[in-house]
Amino acid sequence: MDKLDRVLSPLADVLSNNKYLRSMANGLIAVMPLTMIASIFYLINSIPQIFGIKFSDEVSSAILLPYNFLFGILGLACSFTIAYEHSKNYKELKPMLSGLVSMVTFLLIAAPLADGNLSASYLGYAGIFTAIIVALVSVQIFHVLIEHKIRIKMPDAVPPMVSNSFEAMIPLFIILGGFYLLNVFIESTTGQIIPAWIQGAIAPAIKGADSWQYQAILHLLMQLFFWLGMHGWAICAGFSMPIQTTLLSEQVAAYTAGQPLPHITAGCWNWANMVMVVPIALLLFCKAERNRAIGKLALIPSLFGISEPYQFGVPIVMNPILGIPYVLYQPILVIISYFLVYSGIWPRTAIEANGAIPMPFSAFIATGNWMAFIIFPILLALSLAIWYPFVKVWDRKCLKEEMEIKEKEKLAAESKKAAA
C-alpha cells in the first residue's frame, strides 16, 4: 500500500491539479447535456423498431435532425466551454469574453467559406481536438496580453460591460490574426486546414484507444485512484474524455450516414460498471452485522450508480483485502465487454447508456436488444465470483472484531454488576 501510494499519489496530483487537463475535463462535462438531449431523439427513432414499428425515411430524418445537429456542433460548443473553464484559472480574465474569443477563432479556422457558405465539416467531432487546442492557447495568449496591459484601457466612468468589450479588441485581433496566419501557412504547406491536419495526426491514437488494452488500463487506473480515496473518473477525465467523445461522435457520423459503425468501445458497450455487486456480495456472503447493515444501506443507491455509501462505509478505500477485487474486476469486465461486441453478441451503438437508469434496463433502452437481460446476470454472477473469496476473508475479520467487542462489553457489564 505504501509503495502504491508513493507511485500513484504524485500521478493523481499531476492529473487532477493540472489546470489544462482540469479545464478540458470541465469543458467537456459542460457539453454532456447536448449529447444527452441528442440521445433522446435517437431513442425516439429507435425504440419503436423494437416492437416492429418502422418510420419512413422522411420521418426518421426529421426525428434525427436534432440528434445530428447537436453532435454536429460539438466541437464549436467545446471551443467555448473549455475556454470559459480555463479562463477561471486567471482572475483578470472574463470567462464569457474568453469563451467568445475562442469560439470565433475556432470558427475562422474550422469553418472555411466554400461557395459563399460556411463549411460545417469540422464543427462537430472532427474538430474537437482543434477546439481544445484553440481554447487553451487562446486563453493563455489572452492572459499574457492582459497581464502585460496590451489592451485598450477605458476611463473608469465607462460602464464595465462596455469597458470589457473594448479590452478584448486587441487580444481578439492578435489571437484571431495569429491563428488565421497559422492556418494559411499549414494549408499552403500541407494542403489541409488546421482541423484536418490535426485529425490526421491523432487518427492513430484514436484508433489505438478503440482497443481492449487501452480501456482495461484506463479502468485499472480509475479503480486504483478510487481505492486510494480519490475520484478516479475525474482524475482521468482530462485525457480520456476527448478520446471517448471523438469515438462516440465518429460513431454518430457513421450511423447518420447509414454506414457500418466503426468503433467497438463507443456508445453503450461497457458492462464494467457493476456498482451494485458489492452490496449484493455483502448481503449474500457476509454474517457480520456491520457488513450486512452497509449492504442494506448501499443497495438502492448502487442500483443508480452511487457507490460512495460502501466505498467509505465498508470501507473499500485503502482496504488491502477488498482493494484487490475492487481494482481488478472492472478491467476484467471491460475485456469481456469488448469481445462481446467484437463477436457480435452485443451490438455496436451510437448512444451512451444512461447511468441514472439501473442496469440492465439502461442497456436495453439504449439498444432495444433483449440480450441485455441475459448478459447482465451472467456478468453479475462472474463479478460476485471474483468478489466472493475476498469478501469472506473480510467478513471473518469483521466477525472476529464484533465478537471481541461483545466479549469486552459482556465483561464490562459483569464487572459493573459485581461492583454494584
Helix residue spans in 118-168 (DSSP H): 128-147, 160-167
Residue 114 φ/ψ, nearest 5 degrees? -135, 115
Angle between helices 95-110 and 74-87 (to 10 degrees): 150
Task: Look at residue 177 and tell me whether its pLDDT is greater than 80.
Answer: yes
Q: What angle do CA 256, 261, 264 make, to 5 degrees?
A: 140
Calpha distance 54→52 (Å, rounded):
6
Predicted confidence (pLDDT) per residue in 111-123, tens digit: 887 777 778 888 8
Predicted confidence (pLDDT) per residue in 86-137, tens digit: 999 998 888 888 999 999 999 999 888 777 777 888 888 778 889 999 999 9
Measure Cα distances from 253 to 246, 350, 351 in Å.
10, 9, 12
The lowest-confidence range among 231-235, 336-340, 378-382, 397-401 is: 231-235
pLDDT-derived band at 285, boundaries 50, 70, 90: very high
pLDDT attached to residue 160: 67
Task: Look at residue 1 and tell me whether its pLDDT is greater than 60.
Answer: no
Angle between helices 57-72 and 32-50 (to 10 degrees): 160
- Mean pLDDT across 18-27: 83
Calpha distance 259→251 (Å, rounded):
9
Cell 492557447 appears where?
137
Task: Look at residue 83 and tell me whether its pLDDT is greater than 90.
Answer: yes
What is residue 120's DSSP assignment? Answer: -
Calpha distance 307→119 (Å, rounded):
45
pLDDT attached to residue 410: 76
Give yes or no for a cis peptide into 389 (omega within 30° of 0). Answer: no
C-alpha cell of 415?
464487572
Calpha distance 388→381 (Å, rounded):
10
Going by C-alpha positions, the residue among 128, 9, 148 that lies closest to residue 71 is: 128
CB-based burial, 72-83: b 16+ in 10 Å, e otherwise: bbbbbbbbbbbb
Task: Look at residue 164 and tell me whether its pLDDT is greater than 80.
Answer: no
154 — alpha (psi -120 to 50), left (phi > 0) or beta? beta
Q: Residue 113 belongs to what H/E stretch?
A: strand 113-114
Is the pTM higher than 0.95? The answer reads: no
Among 5-9, 165-169, 197-201, 413-417, the range with the most confident prediction by mean pLDDT is: 197-201
